[in-house]
Amino acid sequence: MVLTKYVNQIGRSFFFTMIILCSILYLVGCTYKIKIEGHITNLPGDKIYLMQKGVDDIAIDSAFVKNNYFLIEKKVKKSDTPKLVKLKINDSNCLSCYHPLYLGLGKNQENSKNYPRNIFYLEKAPITIQGDYKSSYLKFKAGKQNILLFGTEKPVSYWEIDTMNEQLRLKSIENIKKLIKLNSNSIFYFDNIYNSKNYFTTKELKEIYPLFNSKILNSVKGEKLINYYRTKMGDTIPYSNFQLIDSTLQLRNVLASNSKIAILIFWATWCIPCRQEIPLLQKLFKKFSDKKIQFISISIDEEQEKWVTEIRKLKMPWEQFIIPQDSLNKWVERFDIPTIPSILVLSSDRRKIIQFYGFSENTEQTLDSLIQLNLEFFKK
């Protein structure tokens, strides 16, 4: 009886040992080691930090500098797409100071063009950095993902895409598609497309995103782009009317029932580009205010009293509303407002015609042409 119990204990121990061993082998097989090696003179400190790029840079690894040399070795999952990171050095003369390392392509890289940056992709190819910290940038050598990052200013030109010149736009879209076909595994190109997705039409996105390889499309950001495309396909669904607080601090309907076009301007009094846009909107309002074109400013300000004071100073003679802070996220998601200023144009049946993001000198011309076109339609 005792012997049987002892054998069972050995069997259970062996079983659990094999599970742990298999798990370790599985994890080892699913990861690879990234090596970042640096030979840099005149560094202001003795410790290098590897930071994940984001709103708040987060340190994900570090290494001490000895005799102008450092080495960072980090394990990364094979299933992960390369992430943007940066390197920072501490300052021996300032306990709370950290300085970014500015990098540029070395002479032996494939691409002759060079756009120095303080960010790079954490990719599988060995990464080496060398040079004098006091120079304009350090020589950086890495794999293809980083060659594209440092050798390309930007594959997407926002100004050429966000334009009323159809020929220039089509040419730009075709150039983008050619670049992606040649570099279907480029995270840099994908990141640019993803970050500028609002500037593309549904048709353009449908043509562009399948050009990337399956690993990128199956990544977290890849799935987000596909979901965004699917959501954008529903842009033709009309918006229902909704209520917000107006400049007299009363709750009422926002959309008029008899407007030919409704122009919703999302902004805030503290937003400098938003304020730069006001003179352009004032010109358009003066030109079209008697044409049943409804101008509606919707603020995301936190303080209602301050907002009321500011809109009086700014002299915007159209309707003013403010979004309550406790429901801000709901409205941001509903109207797809990743940034301000943002202008959403709705048709007479409250369907989305177009949406603009950020301030542009072209906004006035684009809106003017769009309004004229729709007014011509109503005459027919």
**What is the chain's pLDDT, residue by residue, as a tens digit (380 residues)?**
544 554 455 555 555 555 555 444 444 456 778 999 999 999 999 999 999 887 567 889 999 999 999 999 988 887 677 888 999 999 999 988 999 999 998 655 554 567 888 999 998 888 999 999 999 899 999 888 898 888 876 666 555 565 546 677 788 888 889 989 988 888 889 988 888 887 787 778 888 888 998 888 888 788 888 777 766 666 566 788 888 999 999 999 999 888 888 999 999 999 998 999 999 999 999 988 788 889 999 999 988 999 999 999 998 999 999 998 888 877 887 787 878 888 998 888 888 888 888 887 777 887 888 788 777 655 54
pLDDT of residue 79: 67
Q: Say which residue the tokens 């669904």 belong to.
A: 237
pLDDT of residue 308: 92
CATH topology of domain 243-379: Glutaredoxin (3.40.30)
pLDDT of residue 164: 47
Which element (helix H / strand E) includes 129?
strand 127-132
pLDDT of residue 267: 92
Domain map (residue ranges) of the chain: 29-151, 158-236, 243-379
Q: Please, which residues have CB within 8 angstroms of residue 173's CB and are 6 or more apart in sequence?
A: 161, 204, 207, 208
pLDDT of residue 20: 55
29-151 against 243-379: fold identical: no
- Dihedral sign (CA 75, 89, 195, 338): positive
Nearest to 298 by CA among 278, 276, 321: 321
pLDDT of residue 25: 44
CATH topology of domain 29-151: Immunoglobulin-like (2.60.40)
Burial of 317 (0-12, 13-18, 19+ CB in 10 A): exposed
* SS3 state at 34: strand
pLDDT of residue 135: 92
Exposure of 78 in the CB half-sphere (CA atoms within 13 A): 7
Cα(303)–Cα(332) distance, integer angstroms? 18
pLDDT of residue 137: 92
